[in-house]
Amino acid sequence: MADKEAGGSDTGPRETAPTSAYSSPARSLGDTGITPLSPSHIVNDADPNVSEQQTFLVVVAIDFGTTSSGYAYSFTKEPECIHVMRRWEGGDPGVSNQKTPTTILLTPERKFHSFGYAARDFYHDLDPTEAKQWLYLEKFKMKLHTTGDLTMDTDLTAANGKKVKALEIFAYALQYFKEQALKELSDQAGSEFENSDVRWVITVPAIWKQPAKQFMRQAAYQAGLASPENSEQLIIALEPEAASIYCRKLRLHQMIELSGKAAVNGYSASDTVGAGFAQAKEHVRRNRQSRTFLVENVIGEIWSELEEGDKYVVVDSGGGTVDLTVHQIRLPEGHLKELYKATGGPYGSLGVDYEFEKLLCKIFGEDFIEQFKIKRPAAWVDLMIAFESRKRAAAPDRTNPLNITLPFSFIDYYKKFRGHSVEHALRKSNVDFVKWSSQGMLRMSPDAMNALFKPTIDSIIEHLRDLFQKPEVCTVKFLFLVGGFAEAPLLQQAVHSAFGDKCRIIIPQDVGLTILKGAVLFGLDPAVIKVRRSPLTYGVGVLNRYVEGKHPPEKLLVKDGTRWCTDVFDKFISADQSVALGELVKRSYTPAKPSQLVIVINIYSSEHDTVSFITDPGVKKCGTLRLDLTGTSGTAVPARREIQTLMQFGDTEIKATAIDIATSKSVKVGIDFLNY
């Protein structure tokens, strides 16, 4: 990289950066540099302005899931009522759900066409040759988790192989939810609902890195949910935190306990896994017609058993990821404190779909499956829908086989491709637990289905085992199993047999809606989460006086007779350090050269705790504050001019401010992980 002044335009995309993108020659911090005013101090005062909240008429939470999405809302005047969105058109046999598939369809001109079931059904009805022109996307949320160098320009690939900008797709999806929700609210209120009346909450996995969380906020701005000037209108909530808030409200009839300790409601533990759930499902089905959930303004029974300092784990298992969070109760208000930074990984129910695809490749050949997906994309979607409903029928004690209908075009295309029948392929392949049934179906033995779940469930259990080894976690009282994948009896059983003796395992009844309802509660009272763990170490680049023997010689910079050590990382907060919401961390600096007319403060982050220099591997620039020091000729400026820098740790955002104490000039910036 060319050596740029620190105040230069260092915002272009980074070309192939070395391990450190900032292996700057020592003079890079030269003319606009700052040096700490000693002693450096930290002030932990919460921002006094936080309490002056805007008032919103309604809170709408959007659960933007990998496989399915939905929204729910509550009017701030009656916070005890949570309404889940109206039933959507479409729907699948064998999958009763208040949510809609996270699928989106764009016209050949790349304009938004439809979302959810509507998108799927329309795409499916297109003529195969025409379908190739349309852009159909599903399960695209995982891209934000798996992309290491996410930017505003990251692409997604549609089913026909064409590329589209991820930001556009996410914005389209959020805009769709915005329109649906505002329409429903207006219908219900009998008058036009304005976007400005709504506080929006969008949930994201806690294990997402900062760029992905920021990306979601940018997409929401583009969709018009809020704007950078009015950023408080949108809260980015972490999925397990939302689940945690909802679990606190649970009454005994709203959950199923899988514990080996005693018979629950007259069922022994082994019955509970299946029977309790069947009972609960019946209860949910009866209540399905009413989409309003009453959240009593009390602490649920289970919660009343928790005492100050008690710990519990929330295991949020969704379509794409599994998130594990450990929380601790702080009385009297029952605020939550995050004890251990969120961990987890890509072990959602998608893993099961992936195993099914591998099985199909084994039977019919990878070359055929790849071709089939490209040539008959709608039929492939059909096949996966058929699999989805059978996947939900898998259970530990199932004895009868599961039948999966093969679309006609699969059978037809296979014959053209290979010159022999699907039946022949099944006989020839050595996969003995999948047979062909005369009604044109794949017949899978329960063992075959369970084998598809195994890798994913094993990863979840292994991850939980690691977590339980941690000293902060070993004394956990409860484990809450939430998220769509938590409905899978196979997962319930695995968690129960591995951890049933260590803690009480609780599953909320409407488990797929837990996060959605919790996110609404969070929007009504964002202050409920008080302490988080910082996912990264943050600091700024400064010049320090050069000390022989202590500082590396290549960092020496001599300016006007003063010897400086450049590229020093001055730490604001460490990774995994507890941060109270709204906490301010202050530092004071002074320009390295009294005659400077501008100072530039660069903010850096790293996943490591110990960072000495901004050139260390893994350090990334994530913000720049430029402060103009001109216009002070009339006032007497002190010889050592103080520049105060503040970082405020908010929900998922971090704001930085620099103030020139002599003139009260200040500049603000949001930490930015996408544009550096």
**Contact call for residues 24 and 569 (beta carbons, < 8 A):** no
Give me 267's structure tokens: 């069922």
pLDDT given at position 13: 38
Q: What is the pLDDT of residues 454-492, one digit of tens each?
A: 999 999 999 888 888 888 777 888 888 888 888 889 999
pTM: 0.76
DSSP string of 419-441, one letter each residue = SS-HHHHHHHSS-TTEEEETTTE
> Considering only CA atoms, which of 261, 187, 176 is closest in space to residue 506?
261
DSSP-based three-state secondary structure for 167: helix
What residues have CB less than 8 Å from 413, skipping those under 6 apart?
372, 375, 376, 379
pLDDT at 515 over 80: yes
**Contact call for residues 31 and 7 (beta carbons, < 8 A):** yes
> Considering only CA atoms, which of 671, 605, 626 is closest in space to residue 21?
605
- Strands in 331-411 per DSSP E: 335-345, 402-405
Sheet of 583-591, strand order: 34-36, 583-591, 643-649, 654-660, 665-670
Specify the DSSP element, H or E, that contains 235: strand 234-238
149-157 long-range contacts (CB < 8 A, ≥24 apart) are 150/209, 150/211, 150/212, 150/215, 150/673, 150/674, 151/13, 151/211, 151/674, 151/675, 152/215, 152/218, 152/674, 152/675, 154/215
Whole-number Å distance between alpha carbons of 383 and 572: 52
565: phi then psi, degrees, rounded to nearest 5: -100, 125
In sign, the C-alpha dihedral spanning 102, 106, 111, 116 is negative
Q: What is the pLDDT of residues 519-554, one digit of tens each?
A: 999 899 887 777 777 778 899 988 888 888 888 989
| Mean pLDDT confidence for 224-239 | 88
Other CB atoms closer than 10 Å to residue 562's CB: what's the count?
A: 13
What residues have CB less than 8 Å from 392, skipping those under 6 apart?
94, 95, 487, 488
| Mean pLDDT confidence for 281-309 | 55
> Considering only CA atoms, which of 587, 627, 612 is closest in space to residue 33?
627
Block residue for tokens 């930015």: 672
Q: What is the pLDDT of residues 60-104, one digit of tens each?
A: 999 888 888 889 999 988 888 888 887 655 555 444 556 788 899
Other CB atoms closer than 10 Å to residue 292's CB: what's the count?
A: 13
pLDDT at 175 over 90: yes
Least confident span in 56-70, 105-119, 293-307: 293-307
Whole-number Å distance between alpha carbons of 456 and 452: 8
**Contact call for residues 411 and 439 (beta carbons, < 8 A):** no
Q: What is the pLDDT of residues 193-223, one digit of tens each?
A: 889 999 999 998 877 888 888 889 999 999 9
Show the 3-state SS of 537-599: EEEEEEEEECCCCCCCHHHEEEECCEEEEEEEEEEEECCCCEEECCEEEEEEEEECCCCCCEE
Greater confidence (378 vs 43) lies with: 378
Greater confidence (11 vs 606) lies with: 606
| Mean pLDDT confidence for 148-176 | 89
Query: What is the dihedral angle through the alpha carbons of 554, 558, 559, 562, rounded to the nearest 10 degrees?
Result: 130
When the pLDDT of each residue in the chain is averaged and rounded to a whole number, the result is 78
pLDDT at 23 over 80: no
**366-375 vs 408-418: helix axis angle to the nearest 10?**
130
Q: What's the Cα-to-Cα distance from 357 to each of 363, 381, 383, 392, rounded to whole Å? A: 10, 12, 10, 17
